[in-house]
């Protein structure tokens, strides 16, 4: 393999007219012109690679930035927020000692190409964001969306994704405490894999990504750098090599090594605790390019790197390959010279590679040398912060007005008791509502011994401190169908549901993270959906008084011209002062009262019933009432851990019918239900009116709970009693479904579809 | 003075903190042992926790067997020190030939996490003597390679000697003869796949049955013996 001369800054100066493959790298003419402007010359190949990555949609948020600003503008001020948007992950104070950091991120496209490694490295990536804030990761969660469960390709993608999420999380030692798995044909060619991680830190251990302190040393920690994930930059390879056999388009999906990630966690935490690092940054998308430019831009503004020091695991890598590589399990630490030996020694103890590759300077330039020749010399902020900003055109989809009048409320309904009974069972067996334990059993849920509630509860609850009992609750929710009908309301419904799911455990919601999965931003209809969804979330959070602390935008989720449903996935974090007060799912004791808080309207558009039984998507989604949600959360947090409440369960997809099925299957009790007088059983069972919770009140406490509801203006309706001698569900005057039949419908569906 | 139970941390150990909590809740003192140090710090017993010792990209536990600490653990075990291996720890004990047989990929080929109902088959071990004979216990089982296998003669010998310690009531992995845990002939070394250290608090576990493991080793501790390596 012979190489051309290295494309150094000197060469670039001397050959201003050299043709460069910027268009192939995704840069527009004016973007390339701007790079030349910034540098006062043409970029070197390494610089071109760096700009093309950092100015990509994925890294620069160039299409979304103008809309995401709303979060900053509308976020309620809270003293809890220690680090917010723009950091690796938001950090929220829990009490005077502890803080929590959490974030959700997508890994959609890699998970379609190579399901196991795509999903695994998605989990790995979000964990490193958590470490970078100074936190010990303590749990993960995942929100997954696939095409039809019956589609042959789902049998390839789903088991692979689940294996990847499980393998990485299990090996790195993090409990998976919840999430969701949903199916819709719109995700057939573009599944969604959104991974959330949460970590805990003593407040004073909060880390920054600043490369400050002239003379401080830049240390690369973790795995060797290989050709993984180089992706688009590989076009430079063909431009670089004259006579090569290396026209190598190796898979651009990265391969994960959770063992090395585990070592990274332990080693980094030791370094933080010993006060040995000035700044820390993870290497994720855009690898070294991103980490070097972001840390330099956030710090004193200058950095010098000797690129040949980076340990490589592939031969023949060019500077631009090394800079663009997305090899996993790497972190960048900024360390005072006096501490370098200690840092290297501690890394060695964990069997982790650590290499000094450069130092902080005051030149205001990021300078990268390769064997003494300068291949990069740029102002770091031009990469990290000053990427292009687009004001893309927005336009409401043409079909939305038509869809809005095609209401599910007009669809034919089951009329007889026997038909309604059949519908309860069919719905319980449908892909979106059926038992997901085939998936969740592949995840460790108890490592660390702090998981107080995991799947199938409405939210995961984790203890942070054994001494005080303080803990957190997290839920991750989205509904693409609602958002397709109305992205503003759909996003708010996801927010309201995640908020309520947290509240149902007795925790108080305090912060939000979001993963915004959309089609191509170049499509004005998609951009309109995006703008509406972001506005919905920002407005909703403002009303709820909880800030968006960070998240991720994933565009280009489409197959050909067909975009996925707009799918904002919302994670809500709550705090509970003592996890022993958590409210479980289930049914309490015989004689306990089953009641519903909230109001059931005739809201079937976008519902699971309309989809599962009619393949219908039309009308307008249910209304959201944030005032009501806040009152409900307040009530639940007051009742949590008292003798007045035995269990609670959120009503969402599938309505009351599904909530009853889940509560019955999760307990050993039966439910003896009498619907309110005059209630239409079908509407009552399947409407998806929001803001509703099923609660179980111990005998003798009904009046007190009713009083607490009335005091807050929350409507409460008694529905029946818990009864050990009732077999499954007894709906008085209508029908019975025995436990065996209920469980037979609800359980085992995923395995059956996958042929296991 | 309460008993000191050493908990080994390999680089990829995951349940070491949880094991320490269980030991503490059970009334003993957890002592951290490091995989690369051939010292047992005068502990009275050793707990090899779950995880992925050195990543386990080879066979689970195959590299851990050669670690510095396992040299001294093997030696102490031969002198009668109680040694417990849970999950990856069980795999390490089999790879180290402190226990017979092997743990291979689950019959259904997937990692599975379920509460495992088991019967305590032998109370004549250092780690189970406080259980009632035939007691039913529930510990979480969570593993991809937990299917116990051995040749028929070994299995027959284990049965005949009372070395089958825990037996699954709903076999989650296809283990031969539903075996969840076994002991060596002397009864001081026990390995099992399900996790007693995750069944020590009602708040977080499916039961508190795991506390019996610590209670047993406390009861088994001979007052006059020390198992630390000779100086």
pLDDT at B189 over 70: yes
DSSP string, A510-551: EEEEEEEE-S-TTSHHHHHHHHHHHHHHHHHHHHHT--EEEE
* C-beta separation of A15 from A226 below 8 A: no
pLDDT at B99 over 70: yes
Report helix angle A487-504 to A626-639, nearest 10. Answer: 10
pLDDT at A663 over 80: yes
pLDDT at A752 over 80: yes
Strand partners, A672: A721, A730
CA-based nearest residue to A200, from A474, A453, A547:
A474
pLDDT at A2 over 70: no
pLDDT at A450 over 60: yes
Range from A96-100, A210-214, A616-620 carrying the lowest mean pLDDT:
A210-214
- Nearest CA distance, B55 vs chain A (angstrom): 5
- What's the CATH fold of domain B4-220? Rossmann fold (3.40.50)
Pairing state between β B45-48 and B112-120: unpaired
Q: What is the DSSP secondary structure assignment for residue B173, as one 8-state letter?
A: S
Q: How far apart are CA A167 and CA B110, in angstroms?
A: 10
Instruction: Please pick, among B87, B94, B95, B145, the residue that the annotation labels catalytic.
Output: B87
- Nearest CA distance, A453 vs chain B (angstrom): 8
pLDDT at A539 over 50: yes
Q: How far apart are CA A233 and CA A230, in angstroms?
A: 6
| Cβ within 8 Å, pair B112-A441 | yes
Q: How far apart are CA A527 and CA A530, in angstroms?
A: 5
Q: How far apart are CA B92 and CA A530, in angstroms?
A: 52
- pLDDT score recorded for residue A252: 65
Q: Kindly list the residues from chain A whose CB atom is less than 8 angstroms away from the CB atom of residue B197.
A: 449
How long a stretch of residues is chain A?
756
In sequence order, what are the residues at sequence separation of 6 or more whose Cβ sits closer than 8 angstroms to the Cβ of residue A467?
A: none
- Nearest CA distance, B17 vs chain A (angstrom): 7
- Joined together, the tokens standing for residue A626 give 């944030």
| Cβ within 8 Å, pair B21-A449 | yes
Q: How many CB atoms lie within 10 A of CB B231?
A: 3
> What average pLDDT does range A125-136 have in this prediction?
96
Best of B18, B68, B113, B207 to substitute, by most chain A Cβ atoms within 10 angstroms, is B113
Report helix angle A340-349 to A258-273, nearest 10. Answer: 140
Rounded-to-10 torsion of CA A635, A640, A642, A645: 80
Q: How confident is the model at residue B140 (pLDDT cuts 50, 70, 90)?
A: very high
CA-based nearest residue to B178, from B199, B157, B207, B149:
B149
In sequence order, what are the residues at sequence separation of 6 or more whose Cβ sits closer than 8 angstroms to the Cβ of residue A741?
A: A425, A728
* C-beta separation of A729 from A675 below 8 A: no
Q: How confident is the model at residue A247 (pLDDT cuts 50, 70, 90)?
A: very low
> What average pLDDT does range B190-211 have in this prediction?
98
* Residue found under tokens 């809270």: A78
Taking CA–CA distances from A348, the nearest residue in chain B reads B11
Pairing state between β A471-477 and A460-463: antiparallel
Q: Where are the domains of chain B?
A: 4-220
Q: How far apart are CA B103 and CA B60, in angstroms?
A: 8
pLDDT tens digits along A392-447: 999 999 999 999 999 999 999 999 999 999 999 999 999 999 999 999 999 999 99
Cis peptide preceding A456, ω within 30 of 0: yes
- pLDDT score recorded for residue B93: 97
pLDDT tens digits along A648-659: 999 999 999 999
| Cβ within 8 Å, pair A449-B201 | yes
Q: Kindly list the residues from chain B whose CB atom is less than 8 angstroms away from the CB atom of residue A351.
A: 11
Q: How far apart are CA A568 and CA A36, in angstroms?
A: 37
Contacts 24+ apart (CB under 8 A), A630-635: A630/A544, A630/A545, A631/A712, A631/A713, A631/A714, A632/A500, A632/A503, A632/A597, A632/A598, A632/A691, A632/A693, A632/A714, A633/A499, A633/A500, A633/A502, A633/A503, A633/A508, A633/A509, A634/A712, A635/A597, A635/A708, A635/A709, A635/A712, A635/A714
Q: How confident is the model at residue B21 (pLDDT cuts 50, 70, 90)?
A: very high
pLDDT at A685 over 70: yes
Pairing state between β A136-146 and A98-106: unpaired
- pLDDT score recorded for residue A462: 98
In sequence order, what are the residues at sequence separation of 6 or more whose Cβ sits closer than 8 angstroms to the Cβ of residue A635?
A: A597, A708, A709, A712, A714
Q: How far apart are CA A718 and CA A11, in angstroms?
A: 80
> What average pLDDT does range A694-718 have in this prediction?
97
Chain pair A-B, CB pairs under 8 angstroms: 83
Q: How far apart are CA A407 and CA A398, in angstroms?
A: 17
In this complex, the residue of A350, A449, A579 whose CB is nearest that of residue B11 is: A350
DSSP string, A551-591: EEEE---EETTEEPPPEEEEEEEEEES-GGGPPPSS--STT
- pLDDT score recorded for residue B1: 56
Burial profile A566-593: b = 16 or more Cβ within 10 angstroms, e = fewer: bbbbbbbbbbbbebebbbbbbbbeeebb
| Chain A stretch 445-464, residues whose beta carbon is closer than 8 A to a beta carbon of chain B | 445-452, 463
pLDDT tens digits along A17-67: 999 999 999 999 999 999 999 999 999 999 999 999 999 998 999 999 999
In sequence order, what are the residues at sequence separation of 6 or more whose Cβ sits closer than 8 angstroms to the Cβ of residue A549?
A: A81, A83, A84, A85, A89, A90, A91, A92, A102, A103, A511, A512, A513
pLDDT at A475 over 90: yes
- Give all domains of chain A, ordered by start, each with its CATH number: 9-62+208-384 (3.90.650.10)
pLDDT tens digits along A66-117: 999 999 999 999 999 998 888 889 999 999 999 999 999 999 998 998 999 9
SS3 of A194-239: EEEEEEEEEHHHCCCCCCCCCCCEEEEEECCECCCCCHHHHHHHHH
Longest dimension (CA), chain A: 89
In sequence order, what are the residues at sequence separation of 6 or more whose Cβ sits closer than 8 angstroms to the Cβ of residue A605?
A: A407, A408, A409, A485, A618, A619, A620, A621, A622
- pLDDT score recorded for residue B154: 98
Q: How many CB atoms lie within 10 A of CB A109?
A: 17
- Joined together, the tokens standing for residue A136 give 């010990």
Q: How confident is the model at residue B224 (pLDDT cuts 50, 70, 90)?
A: very low
Q: How far apart are CA A39 and CA A362, in angstroms?
A: 18
Whether A266 contacts chain B with CB within 8 A:
yes
- pLDDT score recorded for residue A232: 61
Sheet holding A176-183, edge to edge: A81-83, A90-93, A98-106, A192-202, A136-146, A176-183
- pLDDT score recorded for residue B86: 98
pLDDT at A242 over 60: no
Rounded to the nearest integer, the mean pLDDT of chain A is 94
pLDDT tens digits along A329-356: 999 999 999 999 999 999 999 999 999 9
- Nearest CA distance, B114 vs chain A (angstrom): 7
Q: How far apart are CA A405 and CA A310, in angstroms?
A: 60
Q: How confident is the model at residue B59 (pLDDT cuts 50, 70, 90)?
A: confident
Question: Which are the catalytic amino acids of A?
Answer: 58, 107
Q: Is A295 exposed, middle or buried (0-12, 13-18, 19+ CB in 10 A)?
A: buried
Rounded to the nearest integer, the mean pLDDT of chain B is 94
| Cβ within 8 Å, pair A448-B200 | no
Q: Kindly list the residues from chain A whose CB atom is less than 8 angstroms away from the CB atom of residue B22.
A: 449
> What average pLDDT does range A569-581 have in this prediction?
98
- pLDDT score recorded for residue A561: 87
- pLDDT score recorded for residue A303: 97
- Joined together, the tokens standing for residue A487 give 């992205």
């Amino acid at each position: 393999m012979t190489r051309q001369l290295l494309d150094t800054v000197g060469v670039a100066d001397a050959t201003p007219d050299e043709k460069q493959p910027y268009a192939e790298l995704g840069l527009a003419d004016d973007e390339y012109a701007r790079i030349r402007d910034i540098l006062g010359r043409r970029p070197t190949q390494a610089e071109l690679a760096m700009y093309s990555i950092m100015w990509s949609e994925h890294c620069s948020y160039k299409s979304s930035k103008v809309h995401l600003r709303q979060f900053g503008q509308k976020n309620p001020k809270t003293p809890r927020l220690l680090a917010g948007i723009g950091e690796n992950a938001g950090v929220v104070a829990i009490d005077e000692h502890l803080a929590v950091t959490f974030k959700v991120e997508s890994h959609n496209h890699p998970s379609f190409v190579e399901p196991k490694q795509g999903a695994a490295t998605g989990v790995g990536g979000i964990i490193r964001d958590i470490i970078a804030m100074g936190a010990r990761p303590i749990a993960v969660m995942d929100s997954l969306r696939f095409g039809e469960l019956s589609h042959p390709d789902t049998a390839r993608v789903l088991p692979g994704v689940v294996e990847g999420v499980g393998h990485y999380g299990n090996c790195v030692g993090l409990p998976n405490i919840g999430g969701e798995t949903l199916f819709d044909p719109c995700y057939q060619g573009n599944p969604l894999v959104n991974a959330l991680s949460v970590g805990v830190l003593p407040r004073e251990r909060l880390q920054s990504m600043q490369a400050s302190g002239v003379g401080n040393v830049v240390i690369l920690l973790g795995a060797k750098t290989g050709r993984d994930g180089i992706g688009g930059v590989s076009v430079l390879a063909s431009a670089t090599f004259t006579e090569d056999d290396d026209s190598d388009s190796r898979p651009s999906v990265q391969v994960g090594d959770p063992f090395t990630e585990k070592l990274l966690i332990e080693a980094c935490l030791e370094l933080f605790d010993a006060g040995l690092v000035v700044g820390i940054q993870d290497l994720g998308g855009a690898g070294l390019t991103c980490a070097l430019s972001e840390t330099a831009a956030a710090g004193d503004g200058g950095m010098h790197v000797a690129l040949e020091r980076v340990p490589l695991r592939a031969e023949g890598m060019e500077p631009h390959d090394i800079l663009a590589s997305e090899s996993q399990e790497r972190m960048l630490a900024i360390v005072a010279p006096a501490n370098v030996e200690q840092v290297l020694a501690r890394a060695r103890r964990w069997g982790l590679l650590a290499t000094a590759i450069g130092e902080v300077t005051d030149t205001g330039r990021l300078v990268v040398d390769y064997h003494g020749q300068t291949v990069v010399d740029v102002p770091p902020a031009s990469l990290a912060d000053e990427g292009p900003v687009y004001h893309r055109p927005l336009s409401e989809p043409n079909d939305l007005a038509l869809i809005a009048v095609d209401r599910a409320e007009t669809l034919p309904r089951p009329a007889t008791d026997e038909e309604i009974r059949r519908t309860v069972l069919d719905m319980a067996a449908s892909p979106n509502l059926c038992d997901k334990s085939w998936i969740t059993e592949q995840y460790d849920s108890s490592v660390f011994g702090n998981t107080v509630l995991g799947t199938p509860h409405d939210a995961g609850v984790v203890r942070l401190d054994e001494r005080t009992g303080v803990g957190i609750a997290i839920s991750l929710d989205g509904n693409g169908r609602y958002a397709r009908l109305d992205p503003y309301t759909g996003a708010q419904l996801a927010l309201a549901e995640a908020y309520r799911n947290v509240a149902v455990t007795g925790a108080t919601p305090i912060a939000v993270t979001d993963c915004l999965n959309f089609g191509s931003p170049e499509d004005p209809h998609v951009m309109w959906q995006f703008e509406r969804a972001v506005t919905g979330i920002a407005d909703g959070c403002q009303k709820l008084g909880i800030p968006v602390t960070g998240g991720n935008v994933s565009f280009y989720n489409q197959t050909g011209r067909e975009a996925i449903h707009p799918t904002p996935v919302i994670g809500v974090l709550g705090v509970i002062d003592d996890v022993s007060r958590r409210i479980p799912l289930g049914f309490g004791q015989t004689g306990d009262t089953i009641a519903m808080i909230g109001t059931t309207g005739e809201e079937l558009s976008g519902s699971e019933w309309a989809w599962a039984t009619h393949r219908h998507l039309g009308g307008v989604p249910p209304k959201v009432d944030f005032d009501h949600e806040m009152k409900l959360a307040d009530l639940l947090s007051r009742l949590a851990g008292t003798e007045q409440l035995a269990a609670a369960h959120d009503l969402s997809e599938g309505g009351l019918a599904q909530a009853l099925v889940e509560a019955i299957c999760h307990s050993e009790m039966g439910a003896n239900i009498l619907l309110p007088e005059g209630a239409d059983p079908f509407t009552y069972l399947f409407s998806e009116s929001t803001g509703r919770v099923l609660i179980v009140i111990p005998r003798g406490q009904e009046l007190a709970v009713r009083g607490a509801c009335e005091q807050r203006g929350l409507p409460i309706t008694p529905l029946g009693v818990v009864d050990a001698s009732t077999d499954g569900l007894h709906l008085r005057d209508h029908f019975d479904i025995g436990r065996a039949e209920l469980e037979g419908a609800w359980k085992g569906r995923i395995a059956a579809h996958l042929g296991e | 003075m309460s008993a000191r139970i050493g908990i080994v941390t390999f680089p990829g150990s995951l349940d070491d903190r949880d094991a320490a909590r269980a030991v503490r809740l059970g009334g003993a003192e957890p002592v951290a042992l490091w995989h690369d140090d051939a010292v047992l710090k005068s502990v009275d017993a050793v707990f090899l926790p779950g995880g992925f010792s050195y990543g386990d990209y080879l066979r689970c536990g195959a590299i851990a067997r050669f670690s510095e600490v396992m040299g001294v653990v093997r030696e102490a075990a031969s002198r009668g020190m109680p040694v417990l291996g849970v999950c990856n720890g069980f795999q390490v004990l089999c790879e180290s030939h402190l226990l017979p047989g092997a743990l291979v990929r689950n019959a259904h080929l997937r990692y599975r996490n379920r509460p495992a109902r088991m019967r305590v088959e032998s109370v004549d071990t250092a780690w189970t003597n406080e259980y009632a004979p035939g007691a039913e216990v529930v510990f979480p089982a969570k593993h991809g390679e937990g299917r116990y296998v051995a040749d028929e003669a070994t299995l027959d010998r284990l049965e005949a000697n009372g070395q089958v310690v825990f037996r699954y009531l709903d076999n989650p992995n296809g283990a031969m003869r539903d075996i969840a845990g076994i002991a060596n002939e002397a009864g001081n070394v026990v390995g099992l796949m399900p996790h007693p250290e995750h069944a020590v608090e009602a708040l977080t576990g499916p039961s508190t049955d795991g506390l019996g493991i610590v209670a047993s080793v406390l009861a088994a501790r001979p007052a006059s013996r020390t198992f630390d390596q000779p100086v």
